Amino acid sequence: MELLLVCTYCCLPSCIPVVSAVVGTLLVVEQTCTLCARTKKWSSQPYIGKVPAGNLMLSAAIVFSGSQPGKTLKCLKFLGASVYRYDRINYGICYSMTNNHNMASQN
């Protein structure tokens, strides 16, 4: 969070960072400069379409490892990790990729 204290416009340590969203593995911080009054949003990861990349990667890891989504997310919750609702869209994307790969390797 120390890096977010410096304004990217006036380059002075005068920003107030505020966490505006936590969506699974995604962290969004909005910083407001007290000197120049500009605001900027920072995301901890890129998006793939409208889905945070880390959330899609976690879904892929669950599917490709053969793990059970409920048990894996319960384990992450016990660890204190920020977990998200296991997204059926992510599961569908990962499952169809696996299915396509299996069909292609059989031919």
One digit per residue, the tens of pLDDT, for the chain of length 107 reads 677 888 888 888 888 888 888 887 888 999 998 888 889 999 999 998 888 888 878 877 877 788 877 787 777 778 777 666 555 555 555 556 555 555 556 66
pLDDT for residue 46? 94
pTM (two decimals): 0.67
pLDDT for residue 93? 59
* Four-point Cα dihedral 19, 61, 84, 81, nearest 10: -60
Beta carbons of 26 and 52 less than 8 angstroms apart: yes
Spell out the alpha helix ranges (H) of 1-107.
53-65, 69-78, 88-106
pLDDT for residue 58? 80
pLDDT for residue 80? 75
pLDDT for residue 99? 55
Of residues 45, 56, 63, the one with CA closest to residue 101:
63
CA terminus-to-terminus distance, the chain: 51
